[in-house]
Chains A and B, each alone.
Chain A
Amino acid sequence: MRTRIRPSHRPYEIAVLVAAALSGVLILTLDVRPTSVHLSMPQPILIAWELGQIAVGVGGLLGILWPGRLSTGLGLELASVLVLGTITGMYAVAVSVVSGRNSIVAISFMMAVTVGSFWRAAQIAIDLRRLARVCESATYEQLRTGVT
């Protein structure tokens, strides 16, 4: 019998990325904007913020499902979670400035996503560094014979 314990962070990450893409698409197609964001961001930043949601969602999922090199997938995911953290952080700041303490719940969850995103980004950065070191020290053949 073989039991495999799944990494626990994935469901949250994937769900948030999907939600980001969906929300971006909905905002653009329905042309609705959260008041707080509308009030607190200049126009170009606002557009970038909206497009960023879609880019983050698509890019992040692409990175997670990337079929090619692991490092490329991780890089995509890294960029996505960095930008995701920025986007949610901006939203949290905007909401907190506009609605103040009425929106404590929304801000809390939003900040949680922000923190989680940067956390994941740090993890990926460390993983990538390690990966690079392993690839430097061990040649591909060594890795291969290590397994078989």
Chain B
Amino acid sequence: MITAPAPAAPHWVQVALSVLGILGGGTGLAAIAAVVVQRGKFKADAADTLTEAALTLVQPLQTRITQLEVEALSARSELGTLREQVNQLQFVVRVLTRTLDRWRAAIRAPDATLRKVRATVAESDRIPEMDR
């Protein structure tokens, strides 16, 4: 589009810009060359690369996780023993309720006598379920 010959920018500008351009282009090429040459230094893939900062972030998290895992494990075992105890207690409560019902029935019976009640009580003493 520009057909008129240059109204001549100062010569030093041309020289300066040439030097600048050559320097910049050279640096760019050098950068590519440097990365290509030192490729062996970078072993990690993009997806797996962690910077130093990320590593230092990850480490405390990791120890925390192991701590929490241990705690979770102990909590779980404690829960197991507690559940077992609850089961036993439920069983005992059931047996006791049944005994109580039987005694009450014996006492409330219209023909209840002291001897009969005693016999009922003595009988439930021998119930083997209660041995536990």
B22, B28, B46, B48 interface centre (most CB from chain A within 10 Å):
B28
Tell me whether A20 is interfacial, beta carbon within 8 Å.
no
**In the bound complex, do residue B20 and residue A86 qualify as a contact, i.e. CB atoms below 8 Å apart?**
yes
**In the bound complex, do residue B24 and residue A69 qualify as a contact, i.e. CB atoms below 8 Å apart?**
no
Please pick, from B10, B31, B48, B50, the residue contacting A82 in the complex, using a CB distance under 8 A: B31
Contact of A69 with B9 at beta-carbon distance under 8 Å, contacts A40-B17, A86-B28, A143-B55 already known: no
**In the bound complex, do residue B55 and residue A82 qualify as a contact, i.e. CB atoms below 8 Å apart?**
no
Tell me whether A1 is interfacial, beta carbon within 8 Å.
no
Provide the residues of chain B in CB contact with A38, threshold 8 Å.
2, 6
**Per-residue B-contact encoding for A53-71, CB less than 8 Å = 1, 0 else:** 0000000000000111111
User: In terms of DSSP, what is the predominant structure of the interface of chain B?
Assistant: helix
How many B residues face the partner with a CB closer than 8 A?
A: 43
Provide the residues of chain B in CB contact with A138, threshold 8 Å.
55
**CB nearest to A41 among chain B residues:** B17
Min distance, Cβ A35 to any Cβ of chain B, angstroms: 6
**In the bound complex, do residue B35 and residue A75 qualify as a contact, i.e. CB atoms below 8 Å apart?**
yes
Rounded to whole angstroms, the CA-CA distance of A78 and B31 in the bound complex is 7
Please pick, from B16, B27, B32, the residue contacting A76 in the complex, using a CB distance under 8 A: B32
Rounded to whole angstroms, the CA-CA distance of A144 and B44 in the bound complex is 10
Please pick, from B21, B29, B48, the residue contacting A144 in the complex, using a CB distance under 8 A: B48
User: In terms of DSSP, what is the predominant structure of the interface of chain A?
Assistant: helix
Residues facing A in B29-47 (CB within 8 A) are 29, 31-32, 34-36, 38-39, 41-46
Q: With contacts A140-B48, A144-B48 known, what are 11 further pairs, Cβ within 8 A?
A: A39-B8, A68-B45, A82-B24, A83-B24, A86-B21, A86-B25, A89-B24, A90-B17, A97-B9, A98-B9, A143-B44
22 interchain pairs, CB-CB under 8 A? A33-B1, A40-B17, A41-B21, A71-B35, A71-B42, A74-B35, A75-B34, A76-B32, A79-B29, A79-B35, A86-B25, A94-B17, A98-B9, A121-B31, A131-B44, A131-B51, A132-B38, A133-B52, A136-B41, A140-B43, A143-B49, A146-B50
A contacts, CB < 8 Å to B: 31-33, 35, 38-42, 45, 48-49, 52, 66-76, 78-80, 82-83, 85-87, 89-90, 93-94, 97-98, 121, 127-128, 130-136, 138-140, 143-144, 146-147
